[in-house]
Structures are given as C-alpha cells and as structure tokens.
Structure 1
Amino acid sequence: MPLHYHMPLYRPPAEADNLVIQATLGCSFNRCSFCAMYRDKPYSQRSLEAVINDIQQAARIRPETRRVFLADGDALSLPTPQLLAILDALHVWLPGLARVSCYATPANILNKSPQHLRWLKERGLRLFYLGIESGSALMLRKTSKGASPEGIARAIQAASAAGIRVSATVILGLGGQQYWQEHIDATIALLNEAPVHYLSTLQLYVDPAIAGEFYQKFGEPFLCQDDQGMLREQARLIAGLNRPLIFRSDHASNAFPLAGNLPRDREKLLAELKRAMRGEQQLRPWYLRGM
C-alpha cells in the first residue's frame, strides 16, 4: 500500500528519488509574495504518532531507503525534541539511512540554539534547503520574504557551524528590469560572506492566483525580465561568486539548465550562457516551465 500524502506535496529536484515523510503540513510563514505553494494549505504540525506510522509504513515499502526528505515547507519549525524523536525513529526503521534533509527558513534556523542544531546533525539531519531568494534588503522587503540579508547570513553560518550543509536557492528576475543589478550584486555579496555548499537558481514565475498581491507589494510598476535578462543575471551571479560551491539551475522554471562546480567550471558555464544569449543554444519552451 503506497504512502498517503496530504497534497499538494513539494520537494527539491535533488530529492526526486528519495523518500518523503511529511512532518508538518504547509508553511509556518506563508506570506512570501512570489510563492503560491501552500496558500490553500493551512500550516499544522503532525503528531509524532502519525509521523512514526508513516515511517513504519515506508519501511515496509522501501526498506532499502538511504535518504529521506522531511516535508512540508519548513519541518524545522517543529520543536527540537519532536524532531529528534522523528530522526531516531527513521534510524530505527530504516537502518541503511545515510541522510535526512528538509526545507528551512532563516527564522527557524535562528530559533534553534547552537546545541540543538548540533544534536539534529548528530541524529542525521545533514542538509537544509534554504530559500535566500535575494541578498538585497530592498528586494526582500518588496516581496515580503520575512528575512533580512543579515539574518540570512547568520542562519547560514549557524547551520554551517553545526556541520549542517546548506543548499540555497536564488530567484532570477526577482528585481525585475529596474533592480536586477542590485538584486544580483547584493546576492553575490551575501553568498561570498556566508558561503553555502550548494546553490541553485530558479526563474521568477508569478502564479496568476497571487499576481495581484505580488505586484501590489512590490510597490511600483514591475518590469519583468525577458530570457535575455535572466541569462544576463545568471552570468553576473556566476562571475561574481568567489567561494567553492556546487551550482545547479536544474529547476523546471529555468530557461537554460546548467550544472557545474565553482570556481572550477566558471569559464565553461559562462561560455554556455554566452552561446545561449547569442541564440546558439536552445532554451526551454515557456509551456514547459513552472515553479
């Protein structure tokens, strides 16, 4: 019998083949103006009994599981004792387990003490997926992110200090045509100050269901980037990063998928982007893109 999930269910592209266990439902913040993922799904914390029942059922279906993603939007919002109990149950029922990961917000990383983060890492929580979106304080305010660049940097540093890797996402096009340079340059500065292990880019897609809210909160006419503008942002970002990281733009929203290690593959990635900007590389059709 397959696991029953409370829909909609989201997970990062890198977790496509891994077991997903829902520890929470929805998102505890749920006010980012660019995100429609959980707008119709109220936030709640699932009982420990319900989560462990799912783990036991999953162990019967996929006993060989080595990686688990804890959903929904920010499982890290759970109290530390409950998270530790979930991690312990995962290791009891899935003895081959090598890694657990989850989405995290800057706030719920910073709400954990350094000791609690270390305990979580010791029990197998090895990776946070963190949406930083932008390093620009202005862009974060205009999109109601609920975080500051300084808070994002502290969260990354706190996770790293506990030995937990961070996979960060940046949204290309978030500043539109008028703020694209500030958006990218501030993001470069943030990532060079608080380095992450993995970095992925998404392209801005404003869901029609929340478009009115997005444009209203932006506070001025929003001039969307075209594909050339998105590629230009991508190139500027890659050129400016000076810390080692694994880079991906494999999310379905991207016009042009890329993959490489920085700084080793910087020139190769920039050359691919230049070919794409000249029309020598095919871009993903619009109808195949989405958040």
Structure 2
Amino acid sequence: MYHEPLYRPPAEANSLILQITLGCSYNKCSFCSMYETKEFKIKDIKKVYKEIDTLSIYQDTRRVFLADGDALSCDTLFLVEVLKYLKKSFPKLQRVASYASPYNLLEKTQEELNLLRVHGLSLVYYGIESGNHELLKYINKPMKPSRMIEGLNKATKANMKISATVILGLGGKNLSKQHIEDSAKLVNECEHINYLSTLQLGVSHTKEDTFFKRFEDKNQDFVFCSDKDMLEEQKRFISLINPKKPIIFRSNHASNALPLKGTLSKDRDELLEVLDEAMEDNSMLRPKFLRGF
C-alpha cells in the first residue's frame, strides 16, 4: 500500500500514516534527498478512501500523519474530504498532522487554514532550515524570512500547532554567525511556534555536487562544521531564543551529536550548561556510527 521511501517526523513514530500524496511538490532543495526518486502526485480520492478503509481495522488509532512531503499542497476541499473520512473511520481520532512547506502555507488563505483546523488538521511540521535569506538562496529554498513568518502566523491564527526545524551547520563555518542569529530572530518574531527542533546537516552523496555547486556559484566556500562547531551553533541559537510564548525544544533527531530537551526560554540556562559540559567531554556525544541523516 505504501510507496517507498516513506518518511515521517520522529514524533509521529506511533501514528498511523496515510499517504495521500507521493513525493514533494517543490523537491528542489539542494540539501534534501528524501523524495529525489519520486515524481510528485496527488492520489485519487477514491483510492485514499479505500486505503483508509483498509487501515480502519486499527480502531484505537488516535493520531494520523498525512504523507508524503507536503500534503498541504492538495486542494483544500480534497483535504477536507479526507479529514471527514478519517474522523468517520477512526472514532478515537485526536490529532491529524502533516508536513507544510513555506510555499503551501502561504498559498492557503486564512479561511482555508481555519477550515482545515475545524475538520481536524491540528499540527503542521515546518522546515525553517535557516532564517538567513542569502543562505536560503544558496540551498535553493529562496523564501524571504518575512514571508515565512507570515505563513507561520497564519497557521497559529488558525489554531494549528507548529513544529519547526532549523538545521545546524547549514551555512558551514563561513556563514555560521549569520545563519544562527537570523534563525533565532525569525523564531522570536513569530507569534508562536509550539515545538522547535534542531538537526545537524548531512548531505547524501547523491546531492553533494548540487549542494556545493550552489555555494561555488555565489563565490562562497563551504566548510563543514565539526561537532564542536555544531555545539557552538546550538549554544548560540538557544541563548538567542526569546519567544513571545514558551516553546518546547528538542534536538532528538538521529543526526544530533547531543540530544537535548527542555522548554525555552525557561530551561535556557540548564541547556547551555549541558552544552558547555559536552564541549569539554566528548563521551557525552552520540557516536557517529549511531547517527542517521
């Protein structure tokens, strides 16, 4: 029933996954290889209904994740019908989530997002990657930070929860300062990001040429950050986060050298203390062979 590869956020490990699209509608980010083998396609609604019927044997299902890369690119009325069918098929359903790209959040009107929330779409996963506009151009995700904030605030206004991600090391050593400072600035200017996570950059061999060439084309040398550099970025990022409302923070992705969890800004000092200790004691870091990207 599933078209591989199939991805989902770490927090959706126990969710039922419903694949209503294949691939990613944008699929041009130079660092991302998740859907490079797939051509974007929206499934026929009748096929989606049939798959929900097959999965409905799991009557205790409380959470559903809509795959693939950005199900929110689907037409709003299509999504509403899927959400209504899910609610009818799973009486204990409490949460439906999906990825949301900067592009499709902006393309949806406020009224459309409100409607999707009413019918059960309550959480979106959003890749900020970086708050630095030039760096976003380098990775071929040329979205203005101000427009990201606009889209995220629309989701907040619709009463959707947001889980956002920033990639440590994305600018390499040379653009580290701009990357981290602007990323923290973006987070601070949002009305509310409920969950914030960081992961460490990893570029697959199939993407290396594309990734490095975009930096070279802009006369930028890309130098990978070491674990210590990543920890320095993490430390600076956390120290600069000053949100309007508390944010649940995690660095529990398999790529992270140092798993962290806390609430910002309440636990800032404790998190910074752990980072200082880890920079002095490498044994606290996850071995590289146990990391995944």
Name the structure 1 match of 2:102.
106
Q: Structure 2, unaligned stretches of length 5 or more?
A: none
In 2, are the aligned partners of 1:106 and 1:130 still within 8 Å (CA)? yes
Measure how far apart 1:280 and its partner are.
5.7
Paired residues of 1:140 and 1:146 also in contact (CA < 8 A): yes
Distance (Å, rounded) in 2 between the aligned partners of 1:267 and 1:53: 51
1:190 to 168, 186, 189: 186
Alignment of 1:119-158 (within 5 A): 119-158=115-154
Q: 2:269 aligns with which of 267, 270, 276?
A: 267
Paired residues, what number?
Answer: 287
Q: Is 1:95 matched with 2:97?
A: no
Structure 1 unmatched ranges of 5 or more: none
Q: Distance in 1 between matches of 2:283 and 2:147?
A: 38
Match of 1:288 in 2: 290
Q: Could you tell me which residue of structure 1 aligns to residue 205 of structure 2?
A: 208
2:174–2:221 CA contact under 8 A, matched in 1: no
Secondary structure (helix, strand or coil) at the match of 1:247 reads strand
> Which residue type is aligned with residue 229 of structure 1?
D
Match of 2:22 in 1: 25
8 Å CA contact retained: 1:70, 1:101: yes
| Alpha carbons 1:275, 1:281 under 8 Å: kept | no
Letter of the aligned partner of 2:253 in structure 1? H
1:164-199 deviation digits (Å, cap 9, x = unpaired):
111000000001000101000000110000131100
Q: How far apart in 1 are the matches of 2:283 and 2:90?
A: 44
Cα separation, 2, equivalents of 1:145 and 1:166: 20
Give 1:252's aligned amino acid: A
Map of 2:227 onto structure 1: 227
TM-score (norm 1): 0.97
Flag as ranges the 4+ runs of structure 1 deviating above 2 A.
none
1:74 aligns with 2:76: no
Shift of 1:17: 0.8
Secondary structure of the structure 1 residue equivalent to 2:143: coil
* 1:146 positional shift: 3.6
